[in-house]
Amino acid sequence: MKDQTGGSDEIGTVLISEDEIQDKIKALARRITDDYRGRDLVLVGVLKGAFMLMSDLARMIDLPLEFDFMAVSSYGSATKTSGVVRILKDLDNEITGRNVLVVEDIIDSGLTLSYLLKYLGARRPETMRVCALLRKKGIQQVDIDVAYEGFEIPPRFVIGYGLDFEQRHRHLPYVALLNKEWNQG
Ligand code: IMP
Ligand code: MG
């Protein structure tokens, strides 16, 4: 199988393989299916990073399901969030009284998600939980309860499976370290 790097030297060591990701998502989807049986569920994907997870996760959930998407951009440098979040695209539908599962790619400082949860919580969903594929270990600046967590990773900059560096590498089916001198450990 091709590694899909297209020869890019920005792609470093693979941290989580495609198989590991898919197995984990299957397990998360099974739990979600059990937990939400008999209730209506709305998946809210946070663009762009969550598009891969959203698509794979949804196909493994065995429930009636609706989708919505938010697009946010956090001010900051290419690799660090400032905590100030700009809403680029809001939800299309009301979530008041609904069971909402927010689907995120990665929790780094946690500031983006924390802002988003407050913003969405103001619309009074019946329940709201978080599913995130990755969480960087030991660097959250805010406490976020992640009900469905994929993997804990070291606090390094990663790419692939939705995650970008300057908009590149989102299409990789695995998660790898970004190969840059400042990311060498
Ligand atoms: P936070 O607000 O610091 O938790 O960062 C949230 C957003 O920053 C994530 O949703 C990602 O879009 C982006 N981000 C954080 N860490 C990484 C990374 O290692 N690679 C790519 N994007 C990241
Ligand atoms: Mg993101």
Q: Give me the pLDDT at residue 139, please.
A: 87
* 158 CA: nearest ligand 1 atom: 19
For 58-111, the pLDDT digits (tens) are 999 999 999 999 998 876 666 666 777 889 999 999 999 999 999 999 999 999
Residue 3 annotated among the catalytic residues of the structure: no
- For residue 1, pLDDT beyond 70: no
182 within 8 A of 66, measured Cβ to Cβ? no
Per the residue annotation, which of 108, 143, 145, 164 is the catalytic one? 108
What is the pTM (predicted TM-score) of this model? 0.93
